[in-house]
Structure 1
């Protein structure tokens, strides 16, 4: 069983270094991005769902929203360029990957699985995980990464730097998970309405 949750962000993009296209590799640009997250589980929960979308909209949705109206940089880019752009932007992220659709789909798959691993489910959920991410960079082009593709890039989540402007929009739970102050997010078990 697989479910899908769609998120949209207006990604104030970046220069994609080493790209064949001169426009991508030499000009700051943006994309109206759609991010599809797919989730699987080895069983359905007490409500006969893979996972309640409300849980996904919480911590996962807030993390995805980090990329909305946000400059994303590759940590290997010119430090002067990064400093100049940071000076004029409240919201920025320094990534350990080149901000291509391919790398971002892999990065997001790893990050979402990290976040899901920190959720303490309480309604009989099984082994819930993000099975794949489709990162629609434009209306005509996308990259798709599966959980197995995560090995193509280094473990990146701990090497990501988020601006105060991004972090200020996070929930207390997300801040705790991302900065190591909290080991899990606890969901309260719902009161049963039907005998199982």
Structure 2
């Protein structure tokens, strides 16, 4: 069985090397929608695949980190990167170009890591991330499956190569959340669900 949870955020980027000049040479933004599809073949104690409320903690904070931020590719021009970090309080540096396709892979890796490190304390069984869909526009989206997220031909998504601006992580309930995830530390149940 599959369940779906939708998240939304506003973000700016440049997608270097793409065919459309206005996308590859000008900072522009999108109203993104991110759909997480979780899969399991048994129910928890509440007869659910996974309580939607549990996605309001670490998962929501990581996706919300991209809201009203500029996403930067670490392989871009160094002067551009420095200027963007200097002039924007909210930025995220990622190891791949911020296309819809790479965003879907990136979110797959982030959410998959959170699920792997979360305490399954309510009888959840074999819950896993099935896929991630990132809508860049109302008419275009990219969908990532596990084999895509781990495909080296599409670029390595190394969590250690992702950097969130201090203005993003400082207000988090646990400002060390992403450090915990990168180092494979269990996410305490109190951090999984936010009020």
Q: CA deviation at 1:55?
A: 0.7
| Partner SS, residue 56 of structure 2 | helix
- Which range moved further: 40-49 or 59-68? 40-49
Q: Deviations over 1:91-120 (max 9, x none)?
A: 101100100000110111111101111101
The answer to whether residue 121 in structure 2 is matched with residue 122 in structure 1 is: yes
**TM-score by structure 1 length?**
0.90
1:107–1:156 contact (8 Å) kept in structure 2: no
Q: CA deviation at 1:175?
A: 4.3
Structural RMSD (CA):
1.5
Change over 3 Å in CA distance of 1:26–1:169 after alignment to 2? same
Q: Deviations over 1:36-71 (max 9, x none)?
A: 011112321011101111111111011100110011
Distance 2:2 2:30 in 1: 27
Distance 1:140 1:15 in 2: 19
Distance 1:94 1:144 in 2: 22
Q: Deviations over 1:129-160 (max 9, x none)?
A: 21111100011111111122112231321210
**TM-score by structure 2 length?**
0.90
1:121–1:186 contact (8 Å) kept in structure 2: no
1:135–1:143 contact (8 Å) kept in structure 2: yes
Q: How does 1:56-135 map to 2 (within 5 A)?
A: 56-135=55-134
Q: How does 1:1-196 map to 2 (within 5 A)?
A: 1-11=1-11, 13-152=12-151, 153-172=155-174, 174-178=177-181, 180=183, 183-187=185-189
Q: Which residue of 2 aligns with 1:194?
A: none
Structure 1: give runs of 5+ residues left out of the alignment: 189-196
1:14–1:73 contact (8 Å) kept in structure 2: yes
**Number of residue pairs matched?**
186
Distance 1:145 1:39 in 2: 13
